[in-house]
Amino acid sequence: MTTVYDVARVAGVSTATVSRVMRESSLVQPETRQRVQAVIEALGFVPDATAQGLSRRRKDIIGFVGLERGAAEIDIERESLLFVDQIVHAAEAVLRNTEYSLLLTFGSSGQAFERRVRALSGKVDGLLVAEEVMAGADLRRLAGRIPVTVIAGRRDENELDVVLADNVTGITELVAHLAGPHRYRRLCFVTGPPDAFERAVLARPGCVIDQVLHGDFSEASGTEAARVLLARGPLPQAVVCANDQMAIGVLREFQREGVAVPADVALTGFDDVYPSRLVDPPLTTVSQPLRELGVRATRRLLARIEARMDNCALPPQTSVLPTRVMIRASCGCRD
């Protein structure tokens, strides 16, 4: 039975070089790579997956960690590809051409889930973290043990690899549209970090934040936010939601109670998931490049894993992808 030692001897290289060739490391010179590959083919060498993983200190598994939204999935959460779903599909598409498999875990924010994430880190080669499932300091400590890439993390993070969309520009342009052509002045924000929204509103003369309601990014929390608004009255001129799921929850509750969108109140979402185009009226929203977020983050994580295997330094990197306001009928424009 041919072994890696046989390949190394015939090719005149070290076993480490043979290992690098098999995992397509960029550190191998093209001439050396071709010579080793020719020997592998001539000898009919087929590496044992388990032994190969042990020798490379690799498990061939990438972990994906995300927060669970809402107590129960309803409607669009059951039937459609949403924010995290699209990112997962993109990550898996990248890994499809490698030896890695994707292991998913989701949970509610808190210490119990953080313990699960730490336990998972010992079973994978690297972690894709969708949003900040734990405090930044804890994520940085985790990244000291294994490669980590954060998706939709903090823009000012300088010790971790982060891939995010330019949500600040997206929300600023959305508020400019509501306050400019439509002249809305009393705006309500439903959940999410309010700082970018607050800056965008205050930059428009005469605009005020009518109120801020918090949810968990699920359709059900949008429904609850609409009920709070209806109970308080009078309604703001526009309701700006931090994602499309909540906006759809708000829309359906308003419609159940006889409130017309956009005649009585304008409504917008964020993300541009497919159902946002199908509801009536279609949602004005901010489009995030969801699949590109998954692709970029996965490629960056693979690069960091390889760099760590080869004992190479790779500085932390923050990649910011552009967003785009999608004007539809829910804000008062003609679709």
Q: What is the pLDDT along the chain (335 residues), one digit of tens a residue?
A: 678 888 999 999 998 898 888 877 778 899 999 999 899 878 877 665 545 554 556 789 999 998 876 555 555 544 445 788 899 999 999 999 898 999 999 988 888 888 889 888 888 999 999 977 888 888 998 898 899 999 998 888 999 999 999 999 999 999 999 999 999 999 999 976 566 788 888 888 888 888 889 888 888 889 999 999 999 989 999 999 999 999 999 999 999 999 999 999 999 999 999 999 999 999 999 999 999 999 999 999 999 999 988 888 899 999 999 999 999 999 999 86
Residue 75's domain spans which residues?
61-165+290-321
pLDDT at residue 77, as a whole number: 47
Same domain, yes or no, for 23 and 65? no
Instruction: Say whether both 78 and 136 belong to one domain.
Output: yes
Tally of structural domains, the chain:
3
| Closest residue by Cα to residue 147 from 16, 306, 321 | 306
Buried b (16+ CB within 10 A) or exposed e, 134-154: beeeebeebbeebbbbbbbbb
Query: 314 and 214 in one domain?
Result: no
Chain centre distance of CA 99: 22
Residue showing tokens 């829910």: 330
In degrees rounded to 5, what are phi and psi of residue 243? -155, 170
CA angle 70, 74, 79 (to 5 degrees): 120
Q: Answer with the one of 55, 75, 96 that is the final residue of a domain.
A: 55
Strand partners, 126: 62
Residues 255 and 86: their CA atoms lie apart, in Å, by 28
- 109 and 24 share one domain: no
- CATH number of the domain where residue 173 is located: 3.40.50.2300
The identity of residue 223, as a single letter, is T
CA-nearest of 134, 119, 125 to 66 is: 134
Question: CA 293, CA 285: separation in Å to the nearest integer?
Answer: 18
Are the CB atoms for 199 and 187 separated by under 8 Å? no
Are 179 and 222 members of one domain? yes
In the chain, which ranges are E strands?
61-67, 101-107, 126-130, 148-151, 161-165, 186-190, 208-213, 238-241, 266-268, 285-287, 318-321, 324-326
Instruction: Please give the pLDDT value at position 297.
Output: 97
Residue carrying structure tokens 């419609």:
255
| Final residue in a domain of this structure, among 55, 71, 87 | 55
Please calculate the CA angle 319-322-323 and round it to the nearest 5 degrees.
135
Give residue 70's pLDDT.
Answer: 57
Give the SS3 label for residue 102.
Answer: strand
Of 258, 240, 273, 286, give the one whose Cα is nearest residue 81: 273
Regarding whether 250 and 218 lie in a shared domain, the answer is: yes
pLDDT at position 79: 47
Cα 46 to Cα 49, 69, 105, 302: the distances in Å are 9, 44, 33, 23
pLDDT at res. 19: 83
CA angle 216–122–131, rounded 5-degree value: 25
Is residue 209 located within the same domain as residue 121?
A: no
Using CA atoms, how far apart are residues 149 and 135, in angstroms rounded to an integer? 14
175, 270: one domain: yes
Distance CA 65, CA 141 (A): 16
Q: Are residues 18 and 66 in the same domain?
A: no
Length of the chain: 335
pTM of the model: 0.77
Does 40 share its domain with 183?
no
